[in-house]
Amino acid sequence: MEYEVLKNINQIIERDSKDTTYKFALLRATIEVIQEKSPHIVAKGDRVIMPVGLLVLKWLEYYYPIIEARLPQKSGDNLSTRTLTFRSQFEKLTDYYQNKGGYDVFYKDFIKCSYPSTLNTTIYYLCKSIRDTITKQPMRYIGGSISNNHYSIFKKVEGDQRLSKPNKLDVEFMIDRFGQFSIPKDYFSVFEYLGSFITGTHSILINWAKFTVAKGDRSLSMNKVLPKILQSPLNERDVSISSRIFDDYTQEIGPLYCVWSGKKIKDDRNIDHVLPFAVWRNNDLWNLLPSKKKVNGDKNDRIPDINLLNQSKDRIIDYWKYIYNQEPEIFTRELKVSLVNKELLDQKNWEIIAFDALKDKSRYLIETRGFEAFNL
């Protein structure tokens, strides 16, 4: 069961709506509340109940530095539209504390309930807006790619308490009066034991960076070390050789046809990463095939569905054979390194073996890793 939950979490992260950062903030907050062993967590039947107010407190932590830095958190979110639900309310707070110590001072003031009384209305409506955002948006939609139902994982626990503005909002009020939510016990268990790996706080990369900082001199910091550990030699899409190859194709053989739709490509040629670059940084020639611009845009960072691959099989293999004739050494080397075992590739029907390997890799990315499939 826990393996199935992990698969579902992968799918939620990759496929559920990415219009805002709310999904990530809700998952992170839930995991941290669970791993802090809050005394307000209660098991009931096959679900575990927690206060929404603890999530609101976490969101205040997460979003303060982001709002202060005016970073976008929603599609179209910028200083002119301010489409993040609670951005304008939050900015009143960050602006007030800007010259008074900023983030740290605000958080200490809030925890100790020592903030100025003049801020009570601002803080109350900000926290209420965050609460409503959490319960009406990510709680409602998380898991939609799995079940197509609202509140399929997170459920609000309905109560009869009416919410009214206190003389001064504090954490106790939020815990008592902001309502409750529940999640299934098996999700609770995964979050409890593996949550820090899901959020990355105890990931191999973070621990590697921390170790490096600890063993270095005082000039080293996580901000300096972590980008170096994360650095990759392939940060850009490179389709230059493929573009030249397909230019030659049109001169020698005739018009190109979109690898996915089969429609003739005119002046709208794109070179598509079959397995998206955002998912797997791979600029191999076998992974770069011609498509119509609109089809490539629709595909975006999705993985070609197995049925689509089967429908496109002849075009994929025909393009592979042409690429092989143009650049046999590069094409064969790349194919052996990243797609097919070299002993298998030495067989006569290498193109069928390579195509089956492409399907296996796509199936793995869709079914195990949880990436979204693309079909026409």
User: Which whole number is the average pLDDT over 113-127?
Assistant: 95
Closest CA to 117 of 164, 163, 166, 162: 166
From 159-173, 268-282, 328-342, the region with the lowest mean pLDDT: 159-173
| 162 vs 312, more confident | 312
pLDDT at 80: 45
From 14-18, 38-42, 159-163, 327-331, the region with the lowest mean pLDDT: 159-163
Find all residues with CB under 8 Å of 112, minimum gap 6, and list them.
none
User: Which backbone phi and psi does 280 adopt, to 5 degrees?
Assistant: -145, 110
Task: Measure Cα distances from 264 to 101, 155, 257, 289, 374 in Å.
Answer: 61, 49, 4, 14, 20
List helix spans (H) across 151-203.
Answer: 171-177, 185-199
pLDDT at 57: 95
State whether the Cα torsion 11-14-16-21 is positive or negative. positive
What is the token pair recorded at 70?
A: 């005016």
What is the token pair recorded at 86?
A: 């609670």
pLDDT at 160: 53
pLDDT at 151: 93
User: Which whole number is the average pLDDT over 132-147?
Assistant: 91
Residue 71 has pLDDT above 90, yes or no: no
Residue 13 banded pLDDT, cuts 50, 70, 90: confident
User: Which whole number is the average pLDDT over 92-109?
Assistant: 94
The greatest distance separating any two alpha carbons of the chain, rounded to the nearest whole angstrom, comes to 80
β-pairing verdict for 373-374 and 303-304:
parallel
pLDDT at 131: 95
Residue 146 banded pLDDT, cuts 50, 70, 90: confident
Question: Model-level pTM?
Answer: 0.81
Task: Measure Cα distances from 123 to 174, 190, 352 in Å.
Answer: 12, 33, 63
* Tokens 């195990």, located at residue: 368
pLDDT at 79: 47
Q: Residue 291 in contact with residue 350, Cβ under 8 Å?
A: no
Q: Residue 9 in contact with residue 190, Cβ under 8 Å?
A: yes
For the stretch 344-361, pLDDT in tens is 666 678 999 999 999 999
Mean pLDDT estimate for the chain:
90
| 304 vs 85, more confident | 304
The amino acid occupying position 79 is: L
The number of C-alpha atoms within 13 Å of 210 and in the hemisphere containing its C-beta is 8
Q: What is the Cα–Cα distance from 69 to 29, expressed in whole angstroms?
A: 21
pLDDT at 44: 94
Residue 82 banded pLDDT, cuts 50, 70, 90: very low
| 291 vs 161, more confident | 291
Q: Give percent of the chain with pLDDT exceeding 70.
A: 94
pLDDT at 243: 94
Q: What is the Cα–Cα distance from 234 to 196, expressed in whole angstroms?
A: 28
User: Which whole number is the average pLDDT over 199-223?
Assistant: 87
For the stretch 234-255, pLDDT in tens is 656 788 999 999 999 999 999 9
Q: What is the Cα–Cα distance from 161 to 180, expressed in whole angstroms?
A: 11
